[in-house]
Amino acid sequence: MMVDMKTFNHKSKLRYLLSVLALVAICSVACKKTEPLPVDPYAGGKEALGIKFSQTAPEIEGTKVTFNITGLLSHRSKAHLFINEVEAVITDVTANTVTVTMPNDISTGPASLTIDDQIFFGPMVNVSGKTEIDLTFSALGTNSIINQVLPLPNGNLMLVGGFTNYAQAASEKQPINAIALINPNGTYLNTLASKKGANGSLTSIVRLDNGQFMVGGSLSAFNERKSISGITRLNANGSLDTAIVEVVNLTPLNPKNSYDTVARFNGGITGVATKVFNHNNQLLVLGSFTNYAEHFYERSTRDRKVIGYTKINNVLRMSLDGKMDSTYNFDKAAGLPLEAANGGIYNGVMQSDGKLVLIGGFTKFQNQTANYIVRLDNNGKVDPSFNASANGAINSIRYNATNGKYMLAGSFTTYNGVQVNGLVRINADGSLDNSFTGLPFSGGNATFAAQLSSGKIIVSGVFSRYNNVVRQGFMILNADGTLAAGYNNIGRFTGSISDIYEKTNSLGYPTVILAGYI
């Protein structure tokens, strides 16, 4: 889904089912007593008013909207018309039409009319504004979640996630499993040599200086090549980076069993890699895991691999060939990992200096108080200079390079002791940025927030109102947290956003690619 930065609905509550129940009483002449007929359960129902909307698109002229409707003229005094749950002012009624003035902050959605306790449903009202779907971008997308969008130097985009198809392009000869390549307009490119791809979801991808890629997730094989533990390296064309290794041959008369083709990157985890970063040619991995895994091929056979495990919790640093760095998040002298978080790590970002800021559902990290957010120094230890604390889960963190600040979204209601509404912007040291104020939500909370280079802020989640204004799962804010006038016209959003990417479309307009489960 792409949104153009240039430029839903009164809930269904009543539906009548009218039935006629014919009761036939048969009594013989010898019957001494006549039983009374039962009470009609549908007696007293409302008389039909004869009002009917035409489902043709209404006529919109400026702030005036005219609907084709019949039967309303005699009920005008009791009529209330809503556009996407917001009442509009009725200015004129004829035998065949009703005209209203759209209120401020209206967004695209269906019309509905109420008279007393009866509801009549009208057509969709498409409200124009500064935000619209970019029709130059393919809208077919994947058949499941996209976790990350990675822009490439040539303008193409690499997608990773839990999908098995893109725009119905997959076939038996060219399957699509968790990784896909598209051009800037969203068209699928079949030039990627990933073949059968990952056998599990990919949650993260990073491009190395030599053009190769590191991918992480829940995979244990890539293109049916096994012996992968959550992390592996791909060549620039998307194929698995492999090597031929010598193994133990238990059948000397069959020389081919002396060698095996394996993933060249020999390192991994037991669990799920949530994010993979590259800093100074060292890999930083965060996620839900308790062990580092390394294959010992000199003691393995083609059919059975020997794996060595080292205890390590949540965060790991490795060399580009997969060797664990025992100076990071690890007590080398004791040969033990530092204490794990006591809750899930949902996401994280890496600063330019290599420090990691992690968010999630934890309240302790390395046996220190860390309320849902923590920063690690370059040795993987809790950084006490980062002043950050919330009272509930933080679901999303996004860094903005333009202002050097972070947007946080979640279910928390205080941050650093200050009452907030689950949406804050913080400074590089973890303190609150008081120039932004997240206003109250109704019906849920934000699960994703990101500030664009223009200063506007995209927010999505499970909510129905923001500061008592109807906003259904998606909105665009000004840099101070207020609703951006003219940008909130696109109506209801269903799903979740995992990643965004800013670009300019083929017509020269600034756009944003929204990726996730939409």
Residue 422: partners with Cβ closer than 8 Å, 6 or more residues away: 392, 409, 410, 411, 412, 413, 438, 441, 445, 446
pLDDT at 30: 38
pLDDT at 35: 56
pLDDT at 172: 79
pLDDT at 15: 32
Dihedral sign, CA of 259, 264, 269, 272?
negative
pLDDT at 16: 28
pLDDT at 289: 96
pLDDT at 11: 35
pLDDT at 444: 96
Closest by CA position to 75, among listed 114, 110, 121, 123: 114
Residue range 368-387, pLDDT digits in tens = 999 999 999 999 999 999 99
pLDDT at 19: 30
- What DSSP designation does 301 have? -
| Residue numbers in the chain where pLDDT is lower than 50 | 2-3, 5-32, 42
Contact by Cβ (8 Å): 146, 159:
yes
Q: Alpha-carbon distance 289 to 306, whole Å?
A: 19
pLDDT at 38: 61
Q: Alpha-carbon distance 6 to 489, whole Å?
A: 12
- Could you please report the per-residue DSSP string of 127-162? --SS-EE-TTS----BSS-EEEEEE-TTS-EEEEES
Q: Name 313's bridge partners.
A: none
Residue range 94-104, pLDDT digits in tens = 999 999 999 98
Single-letter amino acid code for the residue at 1: M
Supply the Cα-derived Rg of the chain in whole angstroms. Answer: 30
pLDDT at 126: 95
pLDDT at 138: 85
Residue range 99-141, pLDDT digits in tens = 999 998 899 999 999 999 899 999 999 999 999 999 999 878 9
pLDDT at 32: 45
Closest by CA position to 112, among listed 58, 46, 48: 58
Dihedral sign, CA of 38, 39, 40, 41?
negative
pLDDT at 27: 32
Length of the chain equals: 518
pLDDT at 26: 27
